[in-house]
């Protein structure tokens, strides 16, 4: 890593701290995970800026502040089993992997998932399990084995009106889920805490802008021109 990259990382972490991110573990993960490795070559010079960037297929890598705020809100521990809906380029996944026991992550675009898995391998992140599936249905049983319930769930695409029921069902009692909710132009990041099988508390955190949460595995041509 060259001096310029080190300085950019330090500047970003200082900027996140100024913007209110106070969890030292989250800030440490944001500094250690090389965001420039997760973005296309055309935008690498902006990788350490606090802004969202395109990653192809009509998807984006979230603004670092939003990644940090979502991660901090979950109050992760190194014992947590986390479900992530929307792997994307894998940057948020890598941040989670530094802070919890295991991450199970779902992506509907197979090409993005393949790239992300190669990056996890390159960075030596061994506590991530990634699949292509319909994230709105939660983590599927594989060979008859269920990984639910999860301690924490993070969704990186916006549900239009409310979180999918399957995700709430896969959250353990006492667990937390962070998810953007609302139509384009009027989305709020919400933190759900599961009080019982039928009761949840909900807190609005901040306005955000995410791609919509969509069902099914994407076709090979979906978002191809984006």
Q: How many residues does the chain have?
A: 226
pLDDT in tens, 93-126: 999 999 999 999 999 999 999 999 999 999 999 9
Residue 182 lies in a domain: yes
Domains: count for the chain: 1
Judged against a pLDDT cut of 90, whether residue 58 lies above it is answered with no
What range defines the domain where residue 115 resides?
Answer: 3-208
What average pLDDT does the chain have? Answer: 95
Residue 218 lies in a domain: no
- pTM assigned to the model: 0.95
Residue 99 lies in a domain: yes
Residue 197 lies in a domain: yes
Averaged pLDDT for residues 32-37: 96
Is 184 designated active site? no
Q: Give the pair of three-digit tokens for residue 172.
A: 């353990």
Among residues 62, 114, 184, 219, the one annotated as catalytic is: 62
Instruction: Assign residue 127 the CATH number of its domain.
Output: 3.40.50.150
């Amino acid at each position: 890593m060259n001096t310029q990259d080190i300085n950019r990382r330090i500047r970003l972490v200082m900027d996140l701290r100024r913007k209110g991110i106070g969890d030292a573990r989250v800030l440490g993960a944001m500094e250690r995970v090389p965001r420039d490795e997760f973005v296309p070559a055309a935008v690498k010079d902006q990788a350490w800026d606090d802004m969202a960037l395109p990653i192809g297929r009509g998807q984006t890598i979230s603004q670092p502040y939003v990644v940090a705020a979502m991660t901090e809100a979950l109050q992760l521990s190194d014992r947590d089993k986390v479900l992530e809906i929307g792997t994307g380029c894998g940057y948020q996944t890598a941040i989670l992997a530094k802070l919890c026991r295991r991450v199970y992550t779902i992506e509907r675009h197979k090409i993005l998932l393949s790239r992300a898995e190669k990056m996890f391998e390159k960075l030596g992140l061994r506590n991530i399990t990634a699949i292509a599936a319909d994230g709105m249905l939660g983590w599927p049983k594989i060979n008859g084995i269920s990984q639910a319930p999860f301690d924490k769930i993070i969704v990186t695409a916006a549900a239009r009106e409310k979180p999918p029921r399957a995700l709430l069902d896969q959250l353990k009692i006492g667990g937390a889920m962070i998810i953007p909710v609302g139509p384009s132009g009027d989305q709020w990041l919400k933190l759900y805490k599961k009080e019982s099988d039928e009761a949840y508390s909900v807190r609005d955190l901040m306005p955000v802008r995410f791609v919509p949460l969509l069902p099914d595995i994407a076709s090979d041509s979906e978002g191809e021109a984006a």
